[in-house]
Amino acid sequence: MRLSQKISSIAAFLSLVMSLPAAPVTSSWSFSFDDSLSENAQTISVKATDSFTTERGYGYDLGTVPGAGANPVLFSVVAPEGNYRVIVSLGKNAAASDTTIKSESRQLQLEKAVTRSGKFIDRTFIVNVRNSRVPPPEKNAPGGSAVVLNERETGLFRWDDKLTLEFNGSAPAVRAVKIERVDDACTVFLIGDSTVTDQPYEPAASWGQMLSRFLPGVSVANHAESGETMKSFISGLRLAKVLSQIKAGDTLFIQFGHNDSKKQWPQTYVEAHTTYKAYLRTLIAEARLRDVTPVLVTSMQRRNFDDAGKIKNSHGDYPQAVREVAAEEKVALIDLEKMSSAFYEALGPTRSPLAFSNGGKDITHHNNYGAYELAKCIVQGIREAGLPLAKFISPEFTGFDPAKPDAPETFQIAVSPIQSTIAPRGN
């Protein structure tokens, strides 16, 4: 066959392929975990022995066993990246229940949903699923096709091609789960460092992974990562990933500073009054270009007390630089630096370690209690700033004064199954 005939045949074949209807993409699933529920053709009955495999497309993950007392259970479903509405049916026929649900890398979605014996409730939340792939650049254009992940991110639930739910609580009772793709969900994108990221392992936690608990109708896409700076967030294609997914009407929370200020990191250091401000303005401009609402957040302080019981400033001029950029650019500001200081000082030098990771030995990173209280600070800031997000705040949130925090001694939240003694990157 001559070359021209080969080309003609290939072209005809490609034309035929392009004209064929696309293979259907699954965008909704229904699962039953209770044998007493009536079966139907649309619902998958999940057996206790159904371990997750990509071939099955769903199942219990990482060897967790359903029905083993109050032990948490991880359940995963293969799902393309995007936002998904999750509707859970909770309760037991012959016992009371108490269920907490987290998603992906320990993002708190549902806290202590309680039912009496024989009573059942439905609850709804939205989960963001993503992978590390980035739309490749055009021919001869600079860029890359994947986020540059660090060694600690390999294998994390937040970077894979599945939606993972953690069924937890003192008496968890998940009867059924319905998952459906939702493309018009209001999405909050978080960019920042270890004090914002979804910490994957107990006992560390950050405010970003608690935020969804207070915004049940919103998808929280937390792209923050331990050790990141504004420069590395750009050079590592994390910003490119965010910009490939963000859409008009979404919100972008920006909190950098813990690592940007480190002169011992010369590749990513930025000076407070010049380059730091310039990078903040760049991020604001990228958001506004896409009709996205930018919100600046000052970094919370480290737990350093002076002799008078007041928090010492360990961030130099960086928090003030954020305030100045917010005023100059007319951008909403949540002053977590001031709120965190009030929070720590309310607890005092003796009790404030109860808000921090590693038994209080860590003075930068928080545990579940500290992250939960700081998330309340953020939600209070959303309300006070009059952001469009305020309409999504849970009615259970009645306001928060960081100078009057919840008592750490009585705080309880279900502990996730995956723990690590390795401290988060950054300090």
pLDDT range class, residue 42, cuts 50, 70, 90: confident
Q: Are residues 252 and 282 in the same domain?
A: yes
pLDDT average, residue stretch 136-150: 95
Q: Is residue 138 part of a domain?
A: yes
Q: Is 118 within a domain?
A: yes
Of the chain, the percentage scoring pLDDT greater than 90 comes to 86
**Beta carbons of 188 and 97 less than 8 angstroms apart:** no
179: CB partners within 8 A, 6+ apart: 28, 29, 30, 31, 77, 79, 84, 85, 86, 87, 163
pLDDT tens, residue by residue, 91-134: 999 999 999 999 999 999 999 999 999 999 999 999 999 999 99
Displacement of CA 266 from its chain's centroid (Å):
29
Answer yes or no: is pLDDT of 17 > 50: no
Same domain, 106 and 230: no
Q: Give SS3 for 195.
A: coil
| pLDDT at residue 63 in the model | 76
Q: Are residues 212 and 283 in the same domain?
A: yes
Q: What is the mean pLDDT of residues 22-27?
A: 52
Q: Is the pLDDT at 389 greater than 70, yes or no?
A: yes
Kindly state whether residue 12 falls inside one of the protein's structural domains.
no
Mean predicted lDDT score pLDDT of the chain:
91
| Averaged pLDDT, 136-143 | 94
Q: Average pLDDT of 296-304?
A: 98
CATH number at residue 291: 3.40.50.1110
Do 159 and 222 fall into the same domain? no
In whole angstroms, what is the distance from residue 39 CA to residue 176 CA?
11
Residue 377 and residue 228 share a domain: yes
Asked if residue 340 and residue 226 are part of one domain, the reply reads yes
Q: Which of 184, 199, 230 is the last residue of a domain?
A: 184
At 67, the pLDDT band (50, 70, 90 cuts) reads low
Of 146, 155, 129, nearest in space to 61 by CA? 155
Mean pLDDT of 3-25: 38
Indicate if 290 and 394 belong to the same structural domain: yes
User: Going by C-beta distance under 8 Å and a sequence separation of 6 or more, which residues neighbour residue 135?
Assistant: 145, 244
Do the domain assignments include residue 427? Answer: no
Is the peptide bond preceding residue 405 cis, with omega within 30 degrees of 0? no
pLDDT of residue 20: 35
Does residue 142 share a domain with residue 99?
yes
Residue 15 has pLDDT above 70, yes or no: no
Mean pLDDT score, 402-420: 93
CATH of the domain at 98: 2.60.120.430
Residues facing 332 on adjacent strands:
295
pLDDT reported for residue 27 = 85
Name the domain boundary from 184, 219, 247: 184
Q: Rounded mean pLDDT of 152-166?
A: 95
Please report whether residue 269 resides in a domain: yes
Does 193 lie in the same domain as 317?
yes
Does residue 57 fall inside a structural domain? yes
Residue 248 located in a structural domain = yes
Residues 201 and 173 in one domain: no
Claim to verify: residue 225 and residue 294 sit in the same structural domain: yes
Q: Point out the domain boundary residue: 184, 199, 226.
A: 184
Number of domains in the chain: 2
What are the residues facing 44 on neighbouring strands?
31
Q: Which domain holds residue 161?
A: 24-34+43-184
How distant, in Å, are the alpha carbons of 75, 113, 209, 241 from that of 373?
A: 28, 19, 12, 29
Asked if residue 9 is part of any domain, the answer here is no
**One domain, residues 117 and 212:** no
Is the confidence at residue 8, as pLDDT, over 90? Answer: no
Whether pLDDT at 158 is above 90:
yes
pTM assigned to the model: 0.92
